[in-house]
Structures are given as C-alpha cells and as structure tokens.
Structure 1
Amino acid sequence: MTDLSVLLQLPFVQSAAIAIIVLAVASAVVGTALALRGLEFLSDGLVHSVFPGVVIGFIAAGTDGVYVGAGIAALVATVALTIASARGIGSDATIAVVLAGAFSLGIVIVSRSVDDYASGLEHLLFGQLLTVSSADIVAICVLGGAAVLLVVGTWKEQLLVSFDRKQAQASGMRVLAYELVLNVAIALVVVAAARAVGNLLVLALLIVPVAVARLLVRRVWTIVAVSLLVSVGCGLLGLWAGLWLSLDAGIQASPSAVLVLVLVALYLVVVAVTRLVALGSSSRRRSEATRVAAPSGDAVIPEVVS
C-alpha cells in the first residue's frame, strides 16, 4: 500500500493537498453561514447556474477560461436569485427552474462543442484535482480568501439576519445587501472550486462538513472549527484513497468523487451514532422515571375500610 507521506512528496499531490485545505477553510466559514440561513437549496441552484459559464469559459480559452466564465455566470446568477428571493417570487420554484435550465444548457453546450463529450463533461463536473497548477492555487487562495473576508466582515449582521430577520429589518439593517454579500461569498467558493473539485462536487464541500458539525456541537464558532477539521481530514483522506485506488488497486477513480464519498460516509456514521446515543439516553431517562414513580418494596398500602 502506497504510504501517504510518500505521496505527499510528489509536487502534484502537494498542490492538490493545498487546494483542498484552502477550499476547506473557505467552505467551513461560508458553509456555516449558509446553513444557519437555510440556503442549501439556493447554493445548489447557484452551483448549477455557474455550470454554463464554466463550459463557455473552457471552450473559449481552455482551463484558463474556467474561472472567468464561472465568475461571470456566478455574478449574474447571484444577483438574479437574490432579487427573486427578496421579492418572494416563489424562491424554491425559481431556484429549481434555474437549476434544471442552467445545467441542461451547460450539457448541451458541451455536447455540441467538445470532441470527447464524456471526458470533457467529467472534467467540468468533477474537476481535475491532480492537475491543479500554481496559477490555480493562486486563484483558489484569492477567491476563497475574498469569500471568507466577506462573511467574517459581516458576521454579526449575518447572524442577526439568520436568527431574527424581522428584528434586523426593524432595526433599519439593509437585509437585502447582507443577503447579497453572503450569496456572493457562496458564488466565490463555487468559482474557486470549479477547476479543482468541479462544478458539481463543490456543493458537498459547502454542505456536508457543516451538517456533520451541527450533529456534534451547537456553538456557532465550534461548528466552524469542527466543519473545518472534517473538511481537511476527509479531503486528505479522500485524496489518498483516490490515489490508492488508482495506483494500488488499479481502479481509475476521480479523487474529487472519492473525497465526497468519504464525506458522505462520515455523515452517515455520525447520524447513526448520534441516533443510537439519543435512543440510549431516552431509554435511561424512561427507566429512571419508572423507578421513581414505582412504589418501593416496604411501602405501606393503605387499609381499605369497608
């Protein structure tokens, strides 16, 4: 079995590991904010809305055009979805329509413009983690860092909007502006991850680690810390597992896809364990309540007077 320490000495593996760590930090902070607001479905719609831009950028300028195309598509989709949600234009239905339409448009463009349709679609959807270059690392750091700064810089306002939207509006806060800031941060993370883990799998990085953290802890910053550890740990484990499948097992598997499978597996394990613990605790409480309610062996039964 190939040792992880040996693999980490390879330059392309080091680049992939750096990309995973940077994306993990950005996803932990931004993902916590979007989870507190219940924006998982909106982020799904945003991810799929970016896909046509990724495709057009790739076709127009190769891998260098992915960030530009994704950025333009993300900007348009973010503004449109934010305004639609603020005006109450059936936000879920609107997002679902955008999701299906944009994703289908991207697939049609790929099928008409790329010679190797299956390979091109796979690279755009699932990324090319093992071919991340130094320029990609710079782009990921800049975009991910900007996303983190946007969320951290408006953290108090984001929490107020998340927990008490009516109070935020009553206090004169420009709620729509802060919603747009968060949506822009989500879009930046999506664009940052477009080249490394692909347009589709970035959703797992944003949602699954935070979902795991929320099952284990309750404090907001603790959720951020736990989701960060989950993202980094599962990311590096997924990278190693993907390489092991390719090098030792002879199975060609996308490291990005394996990474997501590791995240999902951890989530399922944590759900099972927390449910078992909750059932055990409730059983103990019922047993204690039964013992307290039951009469003791030397209790005096009152005499019945006929």
Structure 2
Amino acid sequence: MSLVDALFGAFALPFMSRALLVMLVLSVVAGVVGVLVNLRGLEFISDGLTHAVFPGLAIGLAVGGAAGVLPGAAIAALLGAVALTWLLRSGIANDAGIAVVLTAAFSIGVIVVSRSDDYAGALEELLFGRVLTIPPSDVVPLVVISAIALAMVGITAKQQVFRAFDPAGSRAAGNREFALDLTLNAAVALVVVAGASTVGSLLVLALLVVPGATARLLSGRLWRLFPIAGAFAAIASWLGLSAGFAASVGAGVDLPAGSTIVAVFVLAYAVVLLGSLLVSAAGRRGARRDGLRAAAPTARAVAHAGEGRP
C-alpha cells in the first residue's frame, strides 16, 4: 500500500470517512478544552470523569443496547461533573477521597457489564472504543456533543484563563468560581462522553491531556495554545487512523484503531518534547559561548593592564 493510499485513499471507504469526521471534530474540541485543563492543572479531575462516565456507559448499554450508550454516558458525565465540582469547592473531600469514590464508580460499571451475555466484547468496546464501527446514526449526536463542549469553553474562555492565572483577581472582578468550574468540568465531561464512545473510556484522557501539553512546549503565547492544540490533535488523529488502516490492510497486522490513535498522540508529543529539549540545550550552549566571548576581551584587558604595572 502506498503512502498516498494510506493517507487519503483509505477515507473513501464509508466507515473510515465516518471515523475521520468524528475524530477530527472530537480531537479539535478536546485539544481546545485540554489547554484549559492543562492551565488549571485539572488532569486528575479529567481522569476522574472518565471513571465517572463508565457506569453510565455500562448501564446505557445494558438497558438500551448500543443506542443507550450515549444517553447513559451523558447523564453520568453531567452528574459526575456536578458532584466533582461541588466536592472540590466544598473542601469536604481530598484527592484520595475522590479517587476512592471514582474507583467505586468504575467497579460498578464493570459489575453491570459483567451481567451481559457478551461480557468480554461489551467490556472491550466500552474500554477501548469502536471508532471504526461508529453507526451513521451516532455521527450527528457525537458532533453536537462536541460542539456544545466547544461553545461552553468559547463563551467563558477569557474568564477561565483569568481564573487559571489569577484566582484572587478573578474573584475580585466578580467572576463566579463555582459557575466557571462547573462549566469547564461539564465541557470536559461532554468531551469524555464523545471520546468514550469512540476511542474508549481508558484512552480518552490522552485526547484531553496530550494536545494541551504539546502546545505548551511549542509556544509561550497564551492565545496561540488553542489553535496549536487543536491542529496537533486533528493531525495526530488523521495520522493515527491512516497508520492503523495501513497496518491492518497493507501489512496484515490487526491494530485497534483507538489505541493506534492514542499511540500517535503520545509519539508526536515525545518527538516535540525531544525537539524542545534539544533546542533548549542548544540555546544554553550558545549563551555560554556568547558569555565566554564577552568575557575574553575583559580578561585580556586585565592581563595587559597587569603587564604594564611598574
């Protein structure tokens, strides 16, 4: 299989084009939301929401089959967002306590799934996604969910950034912390819902965390982080789908599509991180050389002055 066929020809197939459409929309939204997650240091909360969504996925699948997955996940995600926001704002629970609650929620989901006749298949689908088998009827709901999350973040972006860098100033300016926190957590929850239905609940965290972290490495300008994260996530999703198709069709290696996409995300982040470290090291070496050149004339001047003393 040629490179052109893998990168472009594969998406002439209906199931690949659906996967690409959903992943492009989801990854761009996740990248933008993930920048705020990174700035606020909310990676733990995002991980918690993936656990909170899992019981909703499982119950929705058990009650309504494949059609019940999205509604069940959405209800669980929004309830989890409200509960986590309230727990963190009230100060009655620490990270350990929240982790215990979320672990319990995840175990409930596993118990529910275990009652299914196809326990292994259902569990694998919920954990690792079904990006290549997304039904046509799910495309519009997934795009709508992602668009709502993007709108929530877009409307409150300035206030969210203000709160991230200066919480006291944000409070003094009259911004309502609980409302901002709930809005951001709800947006994360909606991304988790869409992501859990595609790449799976265990892998969706990579979509939220990796693009924002990569953007921070590539730029120090705040408002450039959002387009950089979105573009990085979109390109990585496209390359991940292409790589999975090329491996499966061209090389006969059956790779899970969701895991392949996440692997490309992480590999791209590693490349950017390595490049950033090399550039920083080169900059430090250059600064040392400039410092030595600047110091050399002074040293020579001191030596000549010493030689001219009687």
Residue range with higher mean Cα deviation, 168-177 or 209-218? 168-177
Q: Which residue of structure 1 lines up, in the alignment, with residue 25 of structure 2? A: 22
Question: 1:229: Cα distance to partner?
Answer: 1.3
2:53 touches 2:76 (CA, 8 Å); kept in 1? yes
Q: Which residue of structure 2 lines up, in the alignment, with residue 296 of structure 1? A: 300
Question: 1:154: Cα distance to partner?
Answer: 1.1
Q: Which residue of structure 2 lines up, in the alignment, with residue 74 of structure 1? A: 77
Distance, in Å, in 2 between the alignment partners of 1:303 and 1:247 is: 79
Matches of residues 2-151 of structure 1 in structure 2 within 5 Å?
3-4=5-6, 5-111=8-114, 113-151=115-153
1:45 touches 1:98 (CA, 8 Å); kept in 2? no
2:29 touches 2:147 (CA, 8 Å); kept in 1? yes
CA distance 1:304–1:195, shift in 2 (3 Å): same
Question: 1:221: Cα distance to partner?
Answer: 2.6
2:32 touches 2:212 (CA, 8 Å); kept in 1? no
| Amino acid across the alignment from 2:300 | S
Runs of 5+ in structure 2 lacking a partner? none
2:55 touches 2:106 (CA, 8 Å); kept in 1? yes
Question: 1:304: Cα distance to partner?
Answer: 9.1
2:74 touches 2:193 (CA, 8 Å); kept in 1? yes
Pick one of 184, 187, 197 that aligns with 1:195.
197
- Structure 2 residue 242 is matched with structure 1 residue 266: no
- Structure 2 residue 206 is matched with structure 1 residue 173: no
- Structure 2 residue 233 is matched with structure 1 residue 231: yes
Specify the SS of the correspondent of 1:251.
coil
Q: Which residue of structure 2 lines up, in the alignment, with residue 275 of structure 1? A: 277
Give aligned-pair identity as a percent: 44
How many residues matched? 305
2:10 touches 2:16 (CA, 8 Å); kept in 1? yes
2:236 touches 2:261 (CA, 8 Å); kept in 1? yes
Runs of 4+ in 1 over 6 A off after TM superposition: none
Question: 1:194: Cα distance to partner?
Answer: 2.2
2:35 touches 2:211 (CA, 8 Å); kept in 1? no
Residue range with higher mean Cα deviation, 90-99 or 34-43? 90-99
Pick one of 205, 208, 211 that aligns with 1:206.
208
Distance, in Å, in 2 between the alignment partners of 1:94 and 1:103 is: 14
Distance, in Å, in 1 between the alignment partners of 2:70 and 2:19 is: 17
Distance, in Å, in 2 between the alignment partners of 1:125 and 1:220 is: 34
Specify the SS of the correspondent of 2:197.
coil
Runs of 5+ in structure 1 lacking a partner? none
1:160 touches 1:168 (CA, 8 Å); kept in 2? yes
